[in-house]
Amino acid sequence: MIKRIGVLTGGGDCPGLNAVIRAVVRTAMLKYGYEVFGYKNGYRGLVLNDFVKFTSDDVSGILDKGGTILGTSNRDNPFEFKVEKDGEIKYMDMSDRIIENMDIFGVDALIVIGGDGTLKGAERLYRKGVKVIGIPKTIDNDISSTDFAVGFMTAVDIATDAVDKLHSTAESYHRVMILEVMGKHAGWTALEAGIAGGADVILIPEIPYDINKVAQKILERRNVGKHFSIVVASEGAKCIDGKIAVETTNDEYSDRIRHDGIGNRLADYLESLTGIESRVTVLGHLQRGGRPNPFDRILSTRYGVAAVELVDYEKFGTVVSLQQNRITHVTFEEAVSQRKQVPPDGELVRIAKSVGVGFGD
């Protein structure tokens, strides 16, 4: 019989995490009578037994707040956990410690809220016998077998608002304005914000671009009297030679690859090729911050309630999913075996091209 559950948030923060925590805690306590432990700073809290025992007051008033009251981390892989031993830094498998910690305090099941890396860690814990339910969150929306992850639609709203604001200054100064948005491996945010904001060029990882064709698109607009252009680019967009802007690695992060600088790279090339002054806005972590929009508040609540229900049904080893506006669940393997990327021949790309958007292909 389930009496006590744990919950944590891992990976990057995003709007809607607090709404999920609220839904988990309130459903667990009010509907099922469970006690809820909140583990701090992702998997680090599980390893170090750093938690808070939630009361209903702890989650009061957090529905509309950005970030996560539990804190988060994308550096702490429990299977390669950084520890200092005998004066040396080592990486150790601490998954057995997690199981021991949960047993000591009688935590019967765990709800993990996270993206690709966090959910892969949850899948490995499940294989070791931990009763785990996953909830997908990522502004990149690249979790398979779900239509939307927590935080994505708010990130699209933020990016769209930025495109709207850039339009007026681009038109006033007759410039090329480039908006660089997050999206290392998947271009959903750039694509949807670009369509919604009326961008002229959208560059995404799934469609390698030819910089000369991007420049040609901008010059074609100038030749018909449109002396400005808006380019929305995912940070992970790559040119036809396969190169990605300023790619570096850091072994401490769950996603080792870091992309940076595509906006400035594009601006230099486009200004040289077109003769039109080009400026860059890097949206960066602004996409992760702030209040979740109504869609994400509702989605987060639906996911949180569904996750606790799956605990009660003992459907462990599954991830909550939204498919055709219906809440369901899939296995961890279905959720994390591959990233959900933009189909280059899919509907969104097709309709964008139909209204004149260029992709540099």
Does residue 351 sit within a domain?
Answer: no
The CATH number of the domain holding residue 11 is 3.40.50.450
The residue ranking higher by pLDDT, 329 or 85, is 329
Range of the domain at 166: 155-288
Residue 87 has pLDDT above 90, yes or no: no
Distances (CA, A) of 93 to 83, 84, 97, 250: 10, 13, 9, 19
Mean pLDDT of 282-302: 94
Looking at the fold, whether 305 and 277 belong to one and the same domain comes out as: no
* CB distance 228 to 175 below 8 Å: yes
Q: What is the pLDDT of residue 255?
A: 55
Which residues have a catalytic role annotated?
140
Looking at the fold, whether 247 and 281 belong to one and the same domain comes out as: yes
Looking at the fold, whether 98 and 212 belong to one and the same domain comes out as: no
Number of structural domains the chain divides into:
2
Does residue 357 sit within a domain?
Answer: no
Mean pLDDT across the chain, nearest whole number? 93
The structure tokens 């469970």 sit at 34
Q: What is the pLDDT of residue 30?
A: 96
Looking at the fold, whether 79 and 64 belong to one and the same domain comes out as: yes
Looking at the fold, whether 186 and 103 belong to one and the same domain comes out as: no
Looking at the fold, whether 243 and 170 belong to one and the same domain comes out as: yes
Does residue 200 sit within a domain?
Answer: yes
Close Cβ partners of 108 (under 8 Å, ≥ 6 residues apart): 2, 3, 4, 5, 131
Residue 137 has pLDDT above 70, yes or no: yes
Lowest-confidence segment of 29-38, 191-200, 202-211, 275-284 by average pLDDT: 275-284
Q: What is the pTM of this model?
A: 0.92
Looking at the fold, whether 112 and 231 belong to one and the same domain comes out as: no
Looking at the fold, whether 84 and 165 belong to one and the same domain comes out as: no
Looking at the fold, whether 106 and 227 belong to one and the same domain comes out as: no
Looking at the fold, whether 143 and 13 belong to one and the same domain comes out as: yes
Rounded distance between C-alpha atoms, residue 144 and residue 141, angstroms: 9
Does residue 347 sit within a domain?
Answer: no
